[in-house]
Each structure stands twice: as C-alpha cells, then as structure tokens.
Structure 1
Amino acid sequence: MLAGKRILLIVAGGIAAYKSLDLIRRLREAGARVSPVLTRAGAQFVTPLSVSALAGEKVYTDLFDLTSEAEMGHIQLSRVADLIVAAPATADLMAKMASGQADDLASTVLLATDTPVLLAPAMNVRMWQHPATRRNLATLQADGVRLVGPNTGDMACGEHGPGRMAEVPQLLDAIRDALADGPLAGRRIIVTSGPTHESIDPVRYIANRSSGAQGAALAGALAGLGAEVVFVTGPAQVPPPPGVKVVPVETASEMLRAVQAALPADAAVFAAAVADWRVSNASGQKMKKNAGGLPVLEFAENPDILATISRMASGRPSLVVGFAAETHDVERHATEKLARKGCDWIVANDVSPGTGIMGGAENQVTLITAEGGEAWPRMTKEQTARQLAARIAGALA
C-alpha cells in the first residue's frame, strides 16, 4: 500500500516531533518517499539534518527560500504528494488551517493543496479541550481533513489526559487507510463526460467540440479520493481513467438512460458536452449529394439530463453539479443556468476560440453556488479536477 507513494510530512513544534523521525524511517522501509516540511518551531525539537538524513531528501523550511522555490515552489510542493501528513499537528497549526492563514511554508502548503490531509494532533490536554480548538477541529473535519489520535496518557508537561500524539504504528495504519480509502470512501458518484453524437445518417453526426479531458480527469480525481465512480462517457478523444466503471454511450438519450440506471448515487457531476438537439428525420442510409437541392434536416430537442436529475422527486443525489461552457457573459449565464436547472453547483468556463480551453490542456473555471461565484485561476485540467474533487469531498463529508 505504501510502496511508491509520496508522503509530504509536516513536522510542527512539539515534543512529539521525535516520533516523526521514527515515522520517516518506517515509511521509507515500507517503500514510500517522504518529503519533509519542518516548521520553525519544529526545528527546536528535531534538526533539519536528522530529518533530511532519515528522509533521504531535502528538508523544506522557508516559504521565501529562493533556492527551494526555484527547485520546487511551494505550490508544486503542495500538490505532488499522494497524502499530506502533519505530525505533530499543533493547536497553532490547526488554528491556521481552520482560518485559512498562510504565513509560513507549512500553512501555505496546506492552504494551497487539493491533496488529502491527515492530522496527528499533539498538545496539552487543556489546549485540546479548549472551545477554540474544538471549533477549529469541527471546521477541519467539515473540510474533509482526516484525524488520527490524539491518545490519552501522561504529558511531557506532567499532566494527564487526551492530547498525546498517536504512536507510530497507529500513524502508519492511518496513512494506509487514507491512501486506501480517501475522504470519499463509500461514496458513489456518477460523472458524465465527452461529447454526444447525434446521427444525421450512418456516417454523419452532430457533436460538440469536447475532448472529454476534463471529465476524465475529474473521474480519476474522485476515484483517487476513494469514491466508486460510474463514468458515463460519450465518444471522447481521451481514454477513461483507471479505477472507474466505464459506461460508453453515444447519444444524449443513451446518456440519460445510463445515468438513471446508475442511480442511486451520493453525487452526480455532469461534465459532458451534450448536444442540445438531435435530427428527428435521420436517414438510415447515407444521404447522397444531389444536384437538385440540399437535404432538409428536422431537429428535435434532446432530453435535459442535468435538469431531469436535479428535479427528481425522490432518489436525487445529495449533490448535483453541472457544467456551463459559455462564450460570453460567463458568470451571468451560468448563474441563470443554476436556477433554471435546479442543480446545486455550476462549473462555468469561457470556451470562446481565443481561450484555447475547448479541447486544450488547461481550464479556467468559476464555481457558481447559491452563495455566488468563485473564480479559480487558470491551471491544468488535472489540477482543476483535483480541486473540484476536494470540494465535492468537503461537501459530502
């Protein structure tokens, strides 16, 4: 389970930091790579040299280290790991995470990540029981952060109670569980992707300019967080990700039937670029070009998959997410679509020709919810998928 996995280990300030040295050794024995981040307070308990020697990698300590930023910037550092572990996770670090502070490397990495996070709290019993810590803990758990410990026992300060960091075997088990399951373990999610093809005749069809890359990336990201993913895909240009149940379809009607057959589900994400219309008088034979005139195509409206699922009287997924590909007034059109379709979120993007997004490797989206629009920076479709998957995990937690 740990072989080949990359763990980003944050070591914060506390006497329990000595356990992190043994944790590094045990992780490496199991075949994992460990990239350590040592806070300034953590360096008061264990030295960068000892951490680096055990990890066999550079220790990252300073947010503004120009050498480190040139080799691996803090944004990249936050996203290359399979799991981020903070051990020990101090009350201060948890408070920063809960309030979204980013004033050092560790807190910045934790705020910039879309990777699953596991915390091993370690603090004085009174600090652990304080209402502020309990509020922060509730916020972090609602955000999808996993916990291991703390244990009850004697403290270095002489007090007794909950607050001792979990022992290394417990940490290893929790890391294995986090990598095996993820925050979406036990959740069933439907993802639609790719274009649909609506036949004109046996050799011609109507379609959208969708490669299916964003939907495939999202299905893979959700599966990576432990979800059971039913991937309903039209004729896409990219292969489906591993670890998902693939249901190939061609038309909008087939896609709707496949989605309905996949229910019940905890969430449904409609990333497919479904054709709005189909040819109602499609020919069973190839249409021939005649000198006498042009063929007359009659159109009918395709079923509205997003609205159909969003407005189900019973059995509706608790979270329904639609996509809106627009060429102008993106946020306005997407907000109107949110209300019109009855879904919970809309992921909107500008696919006008100058953006290079439709069929490209990058995306720039605005997440529309009942609270308004949240513009995300331009990034790869894989990064967009991981960020959206993390938000879905938080919403379902």
Structure 2
Amino acid sequence: MIETNFRHTDIGPIPHDWEVKRTVDLFDINAAGDLMRDNYSEVKTSCHIYPIYSNSNIDKGLYGYTSSPRYRKNSFTITGRGNLGIAEYRNTDFDAIIRLLVLSPKKGASSLFYSYYTNFAHPYEGSATSIPQLPIPNVAKGLIPVPPVGEQEAIGKALSDIDGLIDVLRKLIEKKRNIKQGAMSRLLSGSLRLPGFNKPWKTNLLSDVASYGNVPLPSDMFDAKNYVCTENMISNRGGIIPYDDYVCSYMVKSYVPYDILISNIRPYLKKIWFADCSGGVSADVLVVRSNYDIINAKFLYTILSHDKFFSYNMEGIAGTKMPRGNKRHIMNYEFIMPTDLAEQEAIAKVLTDMDSEIENLEKKLAKYEQVKQGMMKQLLTGKIRLI
C-alpha cells in the first residue's frame, strides 16, 4: 500500500491517475419490471435455482427464485424506490423486480468495487415525489471515480474479505442467541435441572418475591450520568446508554444496585436493565426490587427479560399510540422458580455467562465494522492505494 498525490475534480480530490466518468459510461442500466410468475418459486428447487431480488433491504432483497434469470452475474443492483441508493453486488445470475435498478458492467468496471463505492459515497440523487424514487437518468449522469481496473478489483476483494469476517461473526452471534434462548426456556421452566440440585420448585406471583421501588430521590443525588429514562434504555434487552439531555428532577425515583429497571412505555420494545450502580429514574421507568431472602436478583432478571414476560406485559397495556404497561397487572405475573437460592444463583450464572459470551462477540463485531468503515474511507477515496 502506498500514499498518493491528488488532483481536484468535479467530485472532489482523487488520485492523479484516476479518472471521472458518468455511470452510464461504465454500466448498462436497467429498471427491473414485473415478476415472471410462470418461472417463479417461493423456495429454491432443482429448477428454480436463480435468486430474484426486489427493492427490499431485508436479506439483501431476496424475494424468491426463478428458472429463467434475466441478468448476468457480476452485476450490482441499487434500490430505486423507498429506501433509495442501497447497492448490493450479485455474484450469480439472477432476476430483479419492482423497480430495482440493475447495473451491468462494461469493460473496465468492477461491479464489486462500485457497489461499495455507491454505499459509501451515495453519488445519486432521488426525485422529490410522494414515494422516493431513483430514476435511471439520475444514475446515468452521476459522476463516479474510475481507478485502474486492477485497483478496483483489489479494493473490492479487500472489502469483500472483511465483509466475509463480519458475516461469519453475525451468524455466530445469531447461533449463540438461539442456543441461549433454548437454554433459558428449559432452565427457567424446570425441564432442565443443573447437576446437584433436587429441591422442589414452586409457583409465585411477581408480587410474592419483589416490589416496586418508589422512593423519591433528591435532585442533588443524581445527574445525567446515573439517570435512566425510556429514551436512554436500549430495545431488546440492550441495557442503557449515557443520557445526554436535560434531566427533569420532577418525579424522579431512586434505584440501587441489583434493581431491575423496566421501561413502562411500549413494552414490546423489551427495554430492561439490571442496575450496577445507584441513580434516579423517570416516572415511565419501573424499579423492580427483589426480596433477597426469597429470590436471587439476577435470577429474577432472567425471568423478566424472557419473551414470555414481555408478551404477558402487553396483555395489560392501555393506549395505542404510546401503550403503557399496567403496574398491577405486571405484579400478577406468574412463574415457577426453585425454592433453593443456590439453584437460582447457578441458573443465573449459566445464563449470564452466555450473555457475556454474546456481548464479547458483539464487541468484536463492532470493531470489525469500524475497521471496514475505515478501510472504505481510505481505499474508496484513494488515500491508500492497493497497487
């Protein structure tokens, strides 16, 4: 890798040996039409082996499969309606539908490189209509840099390699999450017992083992660092992030370590946090405090972070636009648990260890994604050369 000199162009500074061309000079551009139903299958079969892609961002736009592809491999697509300008490289023959734009390369253009460049630089402007659209003329006239084709291919491969690592990590995280959910369901139902424990389990209401923390907190006892409200709680059991807005001291309640904080607005977002410090919460955050003589706090957190609890919570909501949980209904939540505190602690440790493993993988994934962004910034602008 070497650094290089730059020259000014209509798209900004580029290396002295790069060119600037219109997209139409490098690609044939087509807008996909209707689905060919005679050749369509919802699932892959021995006849329907070629993917069909649409404007969706889910699963890279995969819609189904066809026996008769209209586009060749080594092209790339750009979403042309709705969420505009998202590019995907296509490495097999395929079909496309519903206004998805297909760019097939001419000589001297790497589709893999330009799919990354499109997602990085967003060089095309959509039309101001009620439904955002990206017309072919807007793409055709769009100016893009043209590195030597060998460099395009090297950049595309480097970014594809890091994407491969990211994809492997994402699949591993998903697998670990599924394993954890399965273990969680079995351990919390008593269908799987840990070795060395044989004392009975019993059925309880949440109110039998915990209560709400409702102690007001003086304004000089908290600040943004330890303030929790629905806005800085993360969906899907993601915990909290630092609060960076004005803290209203009205109706602030206290929380302490080992309390369980649950957002009482839109329970389907599954916002929950196991407190590891003291602080204050807004009126829309419930503070659930365990009776430590009866239940291990971490074990109770595993109970309340399960999908079963959030589904139950939704059954008692009031309101439609901003549904709110019913505090009395929540305290009537019924579950079974070991009578042995040691077994509760052991179950909580198993599940917490699984969470820690997933969290470490997520941190690794975030680092890989950060590395990829840095690579794109350097390679796609020519600041670092792969020649």
Greater C-alpha Rg: 2
RCO (CA 8 Å, sep 6+): is it higher in 1 or 2? 2
TM superposition score category, shorter chain reference? under 0.3
TM-score by length of 2: 0.27
Structure with higher strand content: 1
